[in-house]
Amino acid sequence: MNNSVANTGRLAWAALRMLLVLTVVTGIIYPLVITGIGQLAFHDKANGSIVEVDGKEVGSQLIGQSWNIKGTDKPDPKWFQGRPSNSNYDPLATGSSQLSAGNPELVKMVKAAKKQVAEFNGVPESEVPKDAVTGSASAIDPDISPKYAEIQVKRVAEANGLTATQVEELVKDHTDGRALGFMGEPRVNVLELNVALKELADH
């Protein structure tokens, strides 16, 4: 009986020591090491890819945002506009509308959006690309297609007192190609493009 109790006690103590060791290794040491590596090797990405202008945080390269006229739900003609968002770009409420491609409600919404985008940018509806009228699966996609950026050039240039050529160069400079040369599609980060636009317009 005494031997049995002693053996049980030794096993319990060994198990407790193992629990403590694993807790320290996996709960403290490992996270600290990984965080340290992330901060050293990928400092910007590890901290949310935050974009700063004049020392002030203006957004993240990873999350889309609204570019409306302040205090309204109307898009501001001075800025390049991003993809529509089902969650108003709220990263805590991501997700699509969940409507299927053939859903009459979605078809109606897309047609209305296409007309609005065409009128806002002064282009025929046939030139409006899909990403201008459909949201991404996450609802916070920060990028648009080069085509969507291109149809906004004239409107943005006029609203900022710039030439179309100047704005076209900005779009070209901020267009990223396919990842590794073959993955995904070319894209333009709206926040980075608008930051560069503001710098150009202010000079």
The region, left, alpha or beta by phi > 0 then psi within -120 to 50, assigned to residue 145 is beta
Residue 15 reports pLDDT greater than 80: yes
Q: Are 186 and 168 in contact (CB under 8 A)?
A: no
As a whole number of angstroms, the distance between CA 105 and CA 153 comes to 30
Identity at 176, one-letter amino acid code: D
As a whole number of angstroms, the distance between CA 78 and CA 198 comes to 9
| Bridge partner list, 175 | 188
Confidence of residue 41 (pLDDT cuts 50, 70, 90): low
- Kindly state the helix (H) or strand (E) to which residue 122 belongs, with its residue range: none
Question: For residue 138, what pLDDT is reported?
Answer: 87
Residue 171 reports pLDDT greater than 60: yes
Question: For residue 38, what pLDDT is reported?
Answer: 59
Q: Are 67 and 82 in contact (CB under 8 A)?
A: yes
Sign of CA dihedral 194, 196, 199, 203: negative
Tens digits of residue pLDDT in 120-157:
999 999 999 999 999 888 889 999 999 999 999 999 99
As a whole number of angstroms, the distance between CA 164 and CA 6 comes to 85
Confidence of residue 14 (pLDDT cuts 50, 70, 90): confident
Residue with tokens 């899909």: 130
Confidence of residue 193 (pLDDT cuts 50, 70, 90): very high
How large is the angle between the packed helices 146-160 and 190-202, nearest 10 degrees?
20
The encoded tokens of residue 44 equal: 């910007």
